[in-house]
């Protein structure tokens, strides 16, 4: 979550003036999804500490981490370097986010 805040501050104070409005919007999307899913990851960690480790919560955590790295990471790099081909891997991160939440719900239901 600290990284999400850091990227958000970096964007608001430094990056915003370097990017077009459209590209800055993409950067902001990366920060938003990074923050939301880092918060979700915190919730997963709390539930693991309360309920004990389960394969579904562990899978949820892994997918949320992978989603942050691939989805937000690819958008950060894409906007800062104008490397357009990275947009092709961004949906993989989105799929990992979805899978992470599905695994989370499965774990909660099983509990």
CA separation for the pair 28, 24 (Å, rounded): 6
Q: What are the tens digits of pLDDT across the range 13-26?
A: 888 888 888 989 99
pLDDT tens by residue, 39-67: 999 999 999 999 999 999 999 999 999 99
Alpha helix (H) residue ranges in the chain: 2-13, 21-51, 55-67, 73-81, 90-110
Range of the domain at 58: 2-110
Q: Which of 49, 11, 45 is nearest to 30 (CA)?
A: 11
- Rg of the chain's alpha carbons, rounded to an integer? 15
Task: Name the pLDDT band for 83 (thresholds 50, 70, 90).
Answer: confident
* pTM for this entry: 0.91
Question: What total of structural domains would you count in the chain?
Answer: 1
């Amino acid at each position: 979550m600290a990284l999400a805040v850091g990227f958000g501050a970096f964007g608001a104070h430094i990056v915003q003036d370097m990017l077009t409005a459209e590209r800055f919007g993409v950067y902001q999307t990366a920060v938003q999804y990074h923050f939301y899913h880092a918060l979700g990851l915190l919730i997963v960690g709390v539930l693991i500490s309360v309920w004990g480790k389960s394969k579904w919560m562990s899978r949820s955590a892994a997918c949320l981490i992978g989603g942050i790295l691939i989805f937000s990471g690819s958008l950060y790099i894409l906007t800062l370097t104008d490397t357009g081909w990275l947009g092709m891997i961004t949906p993989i991160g989105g799929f990992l986010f979805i899978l992470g939440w599905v695994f989370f719900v499965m774990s909660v239901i099983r509990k």
